């Protein structure tokens, strides 16, 4: 019951009927913190086991959707089901009260219509209020509030409600089942107003097939909540737990796998929430009994909103990592966080480009032995070496040093915040501790931090305070001013624009370092002292090829050993962020690709090895557009899609607790004729799994993207994919 982003492609011209066809099932799935339409259809079918409930709820969803459309609400909120799930719950409540009071048909229709309209507006208002004030969803509080109004209205018009009529067959509650399991499955069914074992088992099955982690979190939380109720003197069975048990399930899903990445810590939080929820349920039931009201879902709403709001005041995430995309499958969210941690370890660290265009040597790094200590521990010093020497002849003159006079480039875009330009350069071996930083320039970067470049040559600054500079702009030249016995360039990120401010951790990004028989490309890192680094030269043709991949349909012929041939059509378009988005028409697999500062990445693969997109994800994981030949780079790829059957399910359940298996590949590029490029990926030894490719060779061609892919699998099978046809559409 959190705000869930639409997962379908943008469809601005979609009709009301088509929007409701997408939004109606998701309004059911949102009850379980999911955007999965298949789960929604399943839950809708389960609700129809009691036709009066099912029809009332579905009609409420469709009517609320039509009302939102007519009033001009965002159609994406209709398609996502976010505006519809509270009216669904209220209409289920009306059906429940109808069984209690046996309304005349006109009375029922009047109450039902009022419930749809009232629930819609209360939901829209409370969702907006909670979003603006707390940055959270209002969950099902609007439905609880509307339900209480209905209870009061029914009491004032018809007196106290009687127990609802039930002609449910006895077998729906499976009397032979242990009482605890009866109570748990009835709690699952109660979320659709069907507190019986068989409907509950169907709900449990649908959730388990969709998200095993959500099912695990819900089951553990129910166990803790039920055990607490038992300690309070309630029977550990349907009569003692079912009336409030669905609150425990919702707490488990929300805290264990909804708002936070599923982990041992999130499960502990979920069980703590269930413990508090059981106590809150008893307290609220006692208080509300005087008003003839049930506790309903109020305990879960209060506990979850309180805990999540409190946890948002933390200074750091600690062991409880927020979900990157609430509403996505917990399994996908866990994998994405763990994958990003391995692929992009410096993702949240300020990153700078090298301030020297030429190949240079880092002579001091973080926490080094000379001057990078204490407040200034996070800094890098650069010098230029040629054939192991820093200077010509004996180095008695500043111009003998290769770094002296070399242009200093802006390592980021921003605004010049401070400049000192008058300090005289020291003679080699000299020093000026009174003007420690010498000539320097401080830039306030667009990312919100201050970057200082120090020991510049006297009167070499080409900028002024307040001037805007772009990354790579020439700021001045390297010198030997300040506390600097020999020419070098000092780089650090600091707290303020004043010289001497405390430094802060950062990293270099997109740099080349010599290694083996060529240059090794690093997306980010902190080079150690003695490391030689160089900024890569942009490769215009490769960049054009990666940027020019046209949207449309791409039909591939896939040949495997033993003469097996199949076809797969991939649909390519762009998402709202301008990223490439591939979808397989055959397997429904999905893949995202994007370009950031000259590097192409693939990410967020959903599917398994049966789709060609799994090999796109591995073969094109990272492609830097650098001109230098013999460039080598590495990346990690999620191994989960290459497992099959039970092993994949087991890994999905255990990943949050034992970690994610990754495949480590080394990549090389070969430039072909006419703007084509061959990329070769080789799996690092010791990282194999059964269906994973050991080698992938991918041919990239301008505007058509991947025209040929050959993969040699760990089990020695070979897969070859060739582009047969592509039909492009306007971007």
Q: How far is CA 641 from CA 332, 355, 613, 685, 690, in A?
A: 11, 40, 10, 19, 11
Is the pLDDT at 163 greater than 50? The verdict is yes
Q: From CA 621, how far away is CA 623, in angstroms rounded?
A: 7
In terms of pLDDT, which residue wins out, 506 or 76?
506
Is the pLDDT at 685 greater than 90? The verdict is no
Burial class (CB in 10 A: 0-12, 13-18, 19+), 637: buried
Q: What contacts 564, CB < 8 A, 6 or more positions away?
A: none
Please, which pLDDT band fits residue 6 given cuts at 50, 70 and 90?
very low
pLDDT value of position 643: 83
Please, which pLDDT band fits residue 603 given cuts at 50, 70 and 90?
very high
Q: Model confidence over 379-395: pLDDT tens digits?
A: 999 999 888 888 988 88
| Span 702-717, average pLDDT | 89
Q: Distance of alpha carbon 635 from its chain centroid, rounded?
A: 19
Question: Over the Cα atoms of the chain, what is R_g?
Answer: 31
Joined together, the tokens standing for residue 51 give: 């036709």
Q: From CA 59, how far away is CA 56, in angstroms rounded?
A: 5
Fold of 171-328: Ammonium transporter fold (1.10.3430)
Fold of 351-535: Glucose Permease (Domain IIA) (2.70.70)
Q: How far is CA 28 from CA 39, 228, 539, 579, in A?
A: 8, 29, 50, 30
User: Greatest CA span in the chain, whole angstroms?
Assistant: 105
pTM of the model: 0.81
**Alpha-carbon torsion (192, 194, 195, 201), positive or negative:** negative
Please, which pLDDT band fits residue 98 given cuts at 50, 70 and 90?
very high
Please, which pLDDT band fits residue 165 given cuts at 50, 70 and 90?
low
pLDDT value of position 331: 85
Q: Of all helices (H) and strands (E), which one includes residue 509? A: strand 507-515
Give the up-direction half-sphere exposure of residue 203: CA atoms within 13 A in the CB hemisphere: 32
Q: Model confidence over 17-66: pLDDT tens digits?
A: 999 999 999 999 999 999 899 999 999 999 999 999 999 999 999 999 99
Is the pLDDT at 7 greater than 60? The verdict is no
φ/ψ of 656, rounded to 5, equals -60, -20
Q: From CA 252, how far away is CA 266, in angstroms rounded?
A: 9
Burial class (CB in 10 A: 0-12, 13-18, 19+), 487: buried
Joined together, the tokens standing for residue 605 give: 């693969």
DSSP codes of every residue in 374-415: GGG-SEEEEE--BTTBSBSTT--SGGGBTTTTPEEEPSS-EE
pLDDT value of position 577: 85
DSSP codes of every residue in 181-202: HHHHHHHHHHTTT--SHHHHHH
Contact in structure between 442 and 418 (CB atoms under 8 Å) = yes
Q: From CA 643, how far away is CA 98, in angstroms rounded?
A: 50
Q: From CA 695, how far away is CA 721, in angstroms rounded?
A: 14
Joined together, the tokens standing for residue 639 give: 């191994």
Angle between helices 105-133 and 51-71 (to 10 degrees): 60
Q: From CA 236, how far away is CA 73, in angstroms rounded?
A: 46
In terms of pLDDT, which residue wins out, 199 or 371?
199
Strand partners, 720: 559, 710
Of the candidate CATH numbers 1.10.10.2120, 3.40.50.720, 1.10.3430.10, 3.30.360.10, the domain formed by 1-164 belongs to 1.10.3430.10
Strand partners, 574: 580
Is residue 83 classed as helix, strand or coil in its secondary structure? coil
Q: Model confidence over 250-301: pLDDT tens digits?
A: 999 999 999 999 999 999 999 999 999 999 999 999 999 888 889 999 999 9
pLDDT value of position 497: 94
pLDDT value of position 12: 53
Mean pLDDT across the chain, nearest whole number? 90
pLDDT value of position 133: 84
When mean pLDDT is compared across 592-601, 631-640, 682-691, the lowest value belongs to 682-691
Dihedral, CA of residue 7, residue 11, residue 16 and residue 18, to nearest 10: -60
Burial class (CB in 10 A: 0-12, 13-18, 19+), 181: middle
Q: Model confidence over 417-448: pLDDT tens digits?
A: 999 999 999 999 999 989 999 999 999 999 99
Residue bearing tokens 């009850």: 31
Q: From CA 390, how far away is CA 230, in angstroms rounded?
A: 77
Is the pLDDT at 562 greater than 50? The verdict is yes
Is the pLDDT at 10 greater than 80? The verdict is no
Is the pLDDT at 697 greater than 70? The verdict is yes
Please, which pLDDT band fits residue 319 given cuts at 50, 70 and 90?
confident
Contact in structure between 362 and 381 (CB atoms under 8 Å) = yes
Cα separation of the two ends of the chain: 35
φ/ψ of 37, rounded to 5, equals -65, -35
DSSP codes of every residue in 141-160: HHHHHHHHHHHHHHHHHH-S
Q: How far is CA 556 from CA 559, 566, 574, 720, in A?
A: 10, 8, 20, 10
């Amino acid at each position: 019951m959190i705000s869930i982003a639409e997962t379908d492609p943008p469809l601005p011209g979609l009709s009301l009927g088509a929007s409701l066809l997408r939004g109606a099932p998701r309004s059911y799935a949102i009850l379980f913190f999911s955007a999965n339409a298949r789960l929604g259809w399943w839950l809708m079918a389960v609700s129809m086991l009691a036709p009066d409930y099912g029809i009332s709820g579905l009609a409420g969803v469709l009517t609320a959707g039509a009302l939102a459309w007519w009033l001009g609400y965002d159609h994406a909120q209709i398609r996502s089901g976010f505006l519809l799930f509270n009216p669904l719950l209220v209409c289920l409540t009306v059906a429940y009260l109808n069984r209690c009071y046996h309304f005349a048909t006109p009375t029922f229709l009047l109450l039902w219509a009022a419930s749809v309209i009232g629930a819609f507006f209360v939901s829209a208002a409370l969702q907006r209020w909670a979003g603006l004030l707390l940055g959270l969803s209002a969950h099902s509080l609007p439905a609880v509030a509307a339900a209480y109004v209905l209870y009061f209205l029914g009491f004032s018009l018809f007196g106290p409600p009687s127990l609802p009529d039930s002609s449910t067959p006895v077998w729906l509650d499976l009397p032979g089942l242990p009482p605890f399991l009866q109570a748990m499955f009835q709690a699952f069914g109660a979320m659709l107003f069907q507190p019986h074992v068989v409907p509950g088992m169907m709900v449990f099955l649908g959730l388990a097939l969709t998200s095993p982690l959500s099912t695990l979190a819900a089951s553990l939380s129910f166990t803790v909540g039920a055990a607490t109720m038992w300690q309070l003197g309630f029977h550990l069975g349907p009569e003692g737990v079912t009336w409030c048990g669905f609150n425990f399930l919702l707490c488990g899903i929300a805290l264990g796998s909804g708002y936070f990445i599923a982990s041992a810590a999130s499960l502990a939080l979920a069980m703590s929430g269930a413990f508090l929820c059981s106590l809150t349920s008893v307290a609220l039931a006692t208080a509300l009994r005087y008003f003839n009201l049930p506790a309903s879902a109020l305990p879960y709403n209060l506990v979850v909103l309180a805990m999540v709001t409190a946890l948002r005041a933390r200074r750091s995430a600690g062991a409880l990592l927020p979900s990157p995309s609430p509403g996505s499958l917990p399994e996908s969210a866990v994998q994405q966080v763990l994958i990003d941690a391995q692929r992009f370890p410096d993702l949240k660290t300020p990153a700078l480009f090298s301030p020297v265009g030429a190949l240079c040597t880092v002579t001091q790094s973080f926490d080094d032995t000379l001057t990078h200590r204490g407040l200034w521990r996070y800094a890098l010093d650069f010098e230029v070496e040629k054939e192991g020497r820093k200077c010509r002849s004996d180095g008695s003159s500043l111009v003998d040093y290769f770094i002296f006079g070399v242009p200093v480039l802006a390592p980021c875009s921003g605004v010049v915040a401070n400049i000192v330009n008058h300090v005289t350069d020291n003679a080699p071996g000299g020093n000026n501790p009174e003007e420690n930083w010498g000539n320097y320039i401080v830039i306030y970067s667009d990312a919100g931090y201050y970057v200082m470049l120090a020991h510049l040559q006297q009167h070499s600054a080409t900028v002024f305070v307040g001037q805007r500079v772009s990354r790579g702009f020439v700021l001045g030249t390297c010198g030997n001013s300040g506390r600097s016995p020999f020419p070098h360039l000092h780089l650090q990120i600091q707290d303020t624009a004043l010289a001497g401010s405390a430094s802060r951790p950062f990293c270099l990004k997109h740099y080349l370092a010599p290694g083996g028989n060529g240059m090794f490309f690093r997306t980010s890192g902190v080079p150690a002292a003695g490391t030689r680094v160089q900024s890569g030269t942009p490769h215009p043709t490769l960049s054009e090829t990666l940027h020019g991949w046209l949207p449309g349909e791409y039909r591939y012929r896939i040949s495997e050993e033993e003469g097996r041939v199949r076809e797969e059509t991939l649909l390519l378009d762009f998402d709202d962020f301008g990223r490439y988005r591939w979808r397989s028409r055959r397997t429904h697999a999905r893949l995202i690709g994007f370009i950031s500062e000259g590097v192409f990445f693939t990410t967020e693969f959903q599917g398994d090895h049966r789709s060609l997109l799994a090999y796109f994800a591995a073969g094109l994981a990272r492609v830097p557009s650098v001109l230098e030949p013999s460039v080598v780079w590495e990346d990690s790829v999620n191994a989960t899609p290459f497992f099959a059957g039970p092993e994949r399910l087991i890994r999905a359940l255990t990943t949050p607790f034992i970690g994610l298996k990754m495949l480590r590949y080394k990549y090389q590029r070969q430039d072909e004729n006419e703007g084509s490029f061959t990329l070769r990926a080789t799996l690092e030894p010791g990282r194999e799994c059964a269906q994973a490719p050991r080698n992938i060779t991918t041919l990239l061609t301008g505007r058509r993207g991947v025209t040929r892919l050959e993969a040699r699998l760990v089990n020695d099978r070979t897969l070859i994919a060739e582009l047969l046809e592509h039909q492009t559409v306007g971007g």
